[in-house]
Amino acid sequence: MTSDRPTDMTPDHSELVGSVLAGFAFYYPLFMSYLWMAGALFYWFRFERRQGSRVDAPPARATHPLVAVLVPCHNEEDNLLDTMTFLSKLDYPNYEIIAINDGSTDGTAALLDRMASRYPRLRVVHLARNQGKAMALNTAAKLTRAEFLVCIDGDALLDPHAIHWLLQHFEWPRVGAVTGNPRVRTRSTLLGRLQVGEFSSTIGMIKRAQRTYGRVFTVSGVISAFRRTAVHDVGYWSNDILTEDVDMSWKLQARHWDIRFEPKALCWILMPETFKGLWRQRLRWAEGGTQVLLKQAGLMGAWRHRRMWPVYIEYMTSVVWAYTMATLMLFWLLGTVLGLPVPFTVRTILPEWTGVIVGTTCLLQIGIGMLLDRGYDRRLARHFFWMIWYPLGFWMLTVFTTIVAFPKALLRNRGKRATWTSPDRGIKPASR
């Protein structure tokens, strides 16, 4: 007669589950990191290496079609003069600038009107109230006859040669959008320097890897170019999505338009330099990304959209990973404070011997990121010291923003207008 009681040889299922969860929490970021590095290196070898890293030597063009540079603005009085100064010096002969003042409450409207008389290429459109970036872009796109739309933010400094690099991809008729290479120019604080590393070791690397493996999760909202025919085909930008750039990327690819990445199309941007500003920005990104994933869930059931499956699965896996990490941290905290039964005890969440693997991976990821972007940012190497542990910080920030953003996206009223909120633009220098 056999006993139903577990023996010493019977596996403890709770311990097995705990081991699986801990393994997933630890190995998933490592797996993704090496996947990104491999994809980015392949992209560099396949595409970037042939053209070199010279940004000031774009390929010659036989024609120069009209390009409309769209600049949606909301309370950008402090940054617009620099932005327009750079736009006036673009090394492209045939372009116009359309600035959309979307219900600004500072001096943006008056400043734009003054600049319109100074810059002949500039047209200004005033919207009576804050209607969101998507509405501003839709308004501008319908006011131009240009087939190619370059979209930047009101604080962005566009490289003089960027349009040349972006347009070369539209020689292929199925290319609907091209995302550029944003570079962080707020470097006066530790948080600013860390984000310099993030855009090289994480964001730029992910863009390259996604192009290698199939589809791009999102164009960069601060620097991207669109074929107006493609934008019209998908119904323009959605007014109810917090991250209109992510939504547009998915709508285009769902209609089988291709999205490219152009690392030589540089744009210098401002980023948050306070933890509050960074949190608000990344929470908005996470909530908007979740909105798009919920909206596009039907793509997973259609074979014709199979090229989008890896990107969708990657994002949803990251959501599961974030909640797994949050659960492990909660059990560790409860076990430390209150004590828990052995099967539910998480001994530590800090790296021990595995810290060697984590540290080595972070160093390798940063090193490859610097290698890929060294030609586009000459001052990158001096920030290496501050970058070392940012990939780890990136994953921790992902955990907390995801666990907050996912339920917010689920509970958000569909159709609610996504209006502007003035972001943190970095520490402003003291007035003289």
Q: 356 or 261: whose pLDDT is higher?
A: 261
Structural tokens at position 409: 């996206």
CA atoms within 13 A on the CB side of 210: 26
Task: Give per-residue pLDDT as tens, 24-43.
Answer: 888 888 899 999 999 999 99
183-to-279, 367, 378 alpha-carbon distances in Å: 20, 17, 11
What is the per-residue pLDDT across 257-297, written as a single tens digit (0 to 9) for each? 999 999 999 999 988 888 888 889 899 999 999 999 999 88
Q: Band of the pLDDT at 412, cuts 50, 70, 90? A: confident
Task: pLDDT band for 423, please (50, 70, 90 cuts).
Answer: low
pLDDT at 93 over 90: yes
Does residue 90 come out as left (phi exceeding 0), alpha (psi in the -120 to 50 range) or beta? Answer: beta
**Token digits of residue 337:** 């404070």
Whether 2 shows a pLDDT value over 50: the answer reads: no
Structure tokens at 195: 């984000």
Indicate the pairing of strand 67-73 with strand 148-152. Answer: parallel
pTM more than 0.75? yes
pLDDT bucket at 422, cuts 50 / 70 / 90 = low
What six digits make up the tokens of 379?
């001052």
Domains and CATH numbers, the chain: 14-45+147-413 (3.90.550)
pLDDT tens-place string over residues 330-351: 877 777 667 655 555 666 565 5
Cα Dmax for the chain? 97
pLDDT at 377: 78
Q: What is the spatial order of strands in the sheet that 157-158 belongs to?
A: 122-127, 95-102, 67-73, 148-152, 223-227, 175-184, 258-269, 157-158
In terms of pLDDT, which residue wins out, 167 or 336? 167
pLDDT at residue 366 tops 60: yes
Instruction: For residues 85 and 80, give the distance between their C-alpha atoms in angstroms, rounded to a whole number.
Output: 8
Report the mean per-residue pLDDT for the chain.
85
Taking the C-alpha atoms of residue 27 and residue 23, their distance in angstroms, rounded to an integer, is: 6
